[in-house]
Structure 1
Amino acid sequence: MTTVNPPPNAQWLSQLARDIKAWGQALGFAQVGISDIDLTDEEPRLQQWLAQGCHGEMQYMAQHGMMRARPQELHPGTLRVISVRMDYLPPNAGFASNLSDPNLAYISRYAGGRDYHKVLRNRLKKLGEQIDEALKQAGLSDSGFRPFVDSAPLLERPLADNAGIGWTGKHSLLLNHDAGSWFFLGELLINLPLPVDIPLTDNCGNCVACITSCPTGAIVAPYTVDARRCISYLTIELSGAIPTELRPLIGNRIYGCDDCQLVCPVNREAPLTQEADFHTRAALQQPTLLALFNWDEETFLKNTEGSAIRRIGYERWQRNIAVALGNAPASAEILQALQQRLGSANELLAEHIQWALEQQQLKLTESDTTTQRKTARLIRVIHKGLPRDA
């Protein structure tokens, strides 16, 4: 990274900071904040979280050591981090209807549209180019900017917290008074000593709605999530078998989970996104589990092109749906679909299909038993009301 030479004065930098925020909003960012690079308070928390194994199979969380808390090591010369927020809550999200109908598939609301990584990164690059153009016109060296969107060992939430974008909630997501938690974050690392913004204070108070509502108990303490129990981790990051004891708790959630956000009171007034790219695609708008399970790989790839969903691949997609089908009400159609897929499934998928079949067969048996009991009870009632000589 190059250094700015000669150094601009404080007044010029303050004006540039205001310009950067205006340019960011013109590019579609709902908010832009600036922080320094000091994350030393985060290092012991990160070390403890990793030592407890809460990152599960996400080895990339550990392989860079404490670099995540040291932006200057990730990109030498970094003096400031520009954090941006882009809202993603789509219209017609269908939260309640999807979760309340176990035959429908629930997909986390960030994933129904275009992959956010590409959208934010392109906008951040344009913002960096505007900054460099301003520096060029002032006769200064470029900013040595480098954009990041959840794509490098960087603690983006603490940085955004320090930049005044929001405060970290007890579910570990960033919360904002205006947008709740329905937004993406991105960062631009630069070498300019811009004035920094003031962090917000924690406004969660005594609320523990996210903790008590987590289906799998993944929020093991305020501000601490054990990824190994988190449905988002289980359905997206985990490459192997989903632990048997957690499968019934997943319900119909086949890609991610929004429960901790759905119950958060800060999200009540969250705005809908202004980005059409984040609107839910027609093929993912309240689809049935069976319809998605019947997609072949070609259909899966076509319907998830340019989507974050595609990165889990067809096998894990089928694995997740198989678990949800096992959790669905007893159905002859579901049994047939599972049995048909079992013959061509690999070992990982076959294990989950077999589990789903067992769950379905158990429910059918229980249903038959219940029906038999009701019939026997009805017969007793009828006989009781008949004349003795009937």
Structure 2
Amino acid sequence: MKMLDAGPIKAYGHELGFDLVRITGAEAFPEAERVIKERIAAGLMDGLPWFTSERAEVSCHPDALLPEARSIIALAMCYLTEPPEEPQDDQPRGRISRYAWGEDYHEIIKPKLKQFAEWLREYARREAGQELETRLFVDTGRMVDRAVAQRAGIGWYGKNTTILTRGWGSWVFLAEIVTNLPLPSDEPLQANCGKCERCLQACPTGALPAPYVLDNRRCISYLTIELRGSIPRELRPLMGNLIFGCDICQEVCPVNQVIERRLGLHQTKHPPVRAGAEGTAADGGKQQRPQIWLRKRAEFLPRPQIGGAPELIPLLSLTEEEFRARFRHTPIWRAKRRGLLRNVCVALGNLGDRRAIPALVQALEDAEALIRGHAAWALGRLGGQEARQALAARLEREEDPEVRQEIQEALSMLESRNQESEK
């Protein structure tokens, strides 16, 4: 097969809205496979049942995904936008990871990948008379996206296990096109985090026990999104008011902080400005300097019903239908109503605002045992006569054994507090 010119390919990727477009070969990723299997054996991936050794054997071998694979087009799209206005009230509020402020990124990127593949098909026929074969991936597919991004020169591994790029920090979504077309490969970046370990030190739950090692079981993003059951009691007080995802290890990263300053994201009093175009055919799609203009891509702008700091107490009264109407087609949909309200209960317990007690008492009557149990924990944290009476009354009627245990623990917490205050 004829080696195709990558310049037009990269330029078209930029036209579609991808901020970084690089290429690597379709050889296997043996180091990534080794690390994944080690982490699985050590239990660090517990709670993700699909993350198996068998999956690693497929995801680290592009030819298992596409037998004729020759190249991988690695893509990155930055999702930084103007943050929402900070509320000027004293209501208890939660925090949502930045990537989830707007629309579901899968629904944004997948159509662009399909459009890219169609263009690539015509390009291959026109330039070399070749028939295209592809497999498209964005996050959920069987592809080791960070290993691809590192080898293609999209970025380097940060010590918090994210990919750091020169132009956009770690605030990027990754995607890949595996293809049978022979394309010239780019070189990996000669960059690393040096001696910096701010991300490890900042993680409140200790989910980063060593550089480049993530303990999934302690990660707040896992606890608030992927975990389907109860959040371990010992971790709840460490989660603060985070109700969906966590950006702490990214926020403290010096690379990210430089990017945010360049984009004006620390100057929220100024109106957002239009981002300039980047990555044109003239530069051959090479790695770009960071834009100094703030991106204003509509899909990633904060939705009014989400924002970055939603009011917590009203969320506890959401019905299933209201949850669906408010969060469908957003990343928050993944947590489901039961998961989100579980997280809200934990956040309210941590904030210590007793104005939340009536809503938490009502949550003790929710049809979902998961919500009732975490509401009981929060009431135990907030304390007071109203909380104690509600917990005792619910205990008499509660049939779920896990919820009964949560209520008993909460009542014991309140009793211990009373005894301390009497000394």
TM-score, with normalisation over the residues of structure 1? 0.86
Task: Rate the CA distance shift 1:168–1:362 in 2: closer, same or farther, 3 A.
Answer: farther
Look up the equivalent residue of 1:234 and give its one-letter code.
Answer: L
Q: Which has the larger radius of gyration?
A: 1
- Report the secondary structure of 2:99's partner residue: coil
Partner of 2:396: none
- Report the secondary structure of 1:321's partner residue: helix
Structure 2 residue 129 is matched with structure 1 residue 144:
no
| Worse overlay, 209-218 or 197-206 | 197-206
Q: 1: CA distance between counterparts of 2:243 and 2:339?
A: 10
Look up the equivalent residue of 2:24 and give its one-letter code.
Answer: S
Structure 2 residue 206 is matched with structure 1 residue 195:
no
Q: 2: CA distance between counterparts of 1:106 and 1:343?
A: 25
- 1:108-127 alignment, distance < 5 Å: 108-127=97-116
Task: Rate the CA distance shift 1:93–1:221 in 2: closer, same or farther, 3 A.
Answer: farther
Aligned residue among 4, 9, 23 for 1:20? 9
Structure 2 residue 302 is matched with structure 1 residue 280:
yes
Aligned residue among 128, 132, 143 for 1:154? 143
Look up the equivalent residue of 1:67 and give its one-letter code.
Answer: V
Structure 2 residue 204 is matched with structure 1 residue 204:
no
Aligned residue among 32, 39, 48 for 1:42? 32
* Distance apart, 1:344 and its partner CA: 2.5
Structure 2 residue 319 is matched with structure 1 residue 296:
yes
Q: Which digits, 9 at most, give the CA deviation of each residue in 1:160-215, with x for residues without a partner? A: 11111110100000001210111100000101121100101232100000000001
Contact 1:289 1:321 in 2 (8 A): yes
Partner of 1:59: 49
Q: Which digits, 9 at most, give the CA deviation of each residue in 1:67-103, with x for residues without a partner? A: 1211111222111111111010121257xx69xx892
- Report the secondary structure of 2:114's partner residue: helix
Q: 2: CA distance between counterparts of 1:137 and 1:330?
A: 65
Look up the equivalent residue of 1:83 and give its one-letter code.
Answer: A
Q: 2: CA distance between counterparts of 1:223 and 1:302?
A: 39
Q: 2: CA distance between counterparts of 1:218 and 1:202?
A: 24
Q: Which digits, 9 at most, give the CA deviation of each residue in 1:241-262, with x for residues without a partner? A: 1000000001100000000000
Structure 2 residue 335 is matched with structure 1 residue 346:
no
Runs ≥4 residues deviating over 3 A: 270-274, 362-366
Look up the equivalent residue of 1:39 and give its one-letter code.
Answer: F
Corresponding residue pairs, total:
354
Partner of 2:409: none
Partner of 2:80: 89
Structure 2 residue 188 is matched with structure 1 residue 165:
no
| Structure 2 stretches lacking a partner, 5+ long | 264-293, 388-413
Q: 2: CA distance between counterparts of 1:176 and 1:362?
A: 49
Q: Which digits, 9 at most, give the CA deviation of each residue in 1:315-358, with x for residues without a partner? A: 11111101111111231x21110001211242222111110110
Q: Which digits, 9 at most, give the CA deviation of each residue in 1:109-137, with x for residues without a partner? A: 00111110111111111111111101222
Look up the equivalent residue of 2:117 and give its one-letter code.
Answer: G
Partner of 1:386: none
Q: 2: CA distance between counterparts of 1:93 and 1:51?
A: 42
Look up the equivalent residue of 2:15 and give its one-letter code.
Answer: A
Contact 1:218 1:230 in 2 (8 A): yes
- 1:290-369 alignment, distance < 5 Å: 290-331=313-354, 333-361=355-383
Aligned residue among 121, 142, 146 for 1:132? 121
- 1:169-184 alignment, distance < 5 Å: 169-184=158-173
Partner of 1:377: none
Q: 2: CA distance between counterparts of 1:346 and 1:295?
A: 13
* Distance apart, 1:219 and its partner CA: 0.6
Percent identity over the alignment? 39
Partner of 1:382: none
Structure 2 residue 280 is matched with structure 1 residue 258:
no
Q: 2: CA distance between counterparts of 1:35 and 1:131?
A: 16
- Report the secondary structure of 1:311's partner residue: helix
- Report the secondary structure of 1:61's partner residue: coil
Look up the equivalent residue of 1:152 and give its one-letter code.
Answer: G
Q: 2: CA distance between counterparts of 1:258 and 1:154?
A: 23
Q: 1: CA distance between counterparts of 2:179 and 2:337?
A: 39
TM-score, with normalisation over the residues of structure 2? 0.79
Structure 2 residue 36 is matched with structure 1 residue 69:
no
Contact 2:363 2:371 in 1 (8 A): no
Contact 2:66 2:134 in 1 (8 A): no
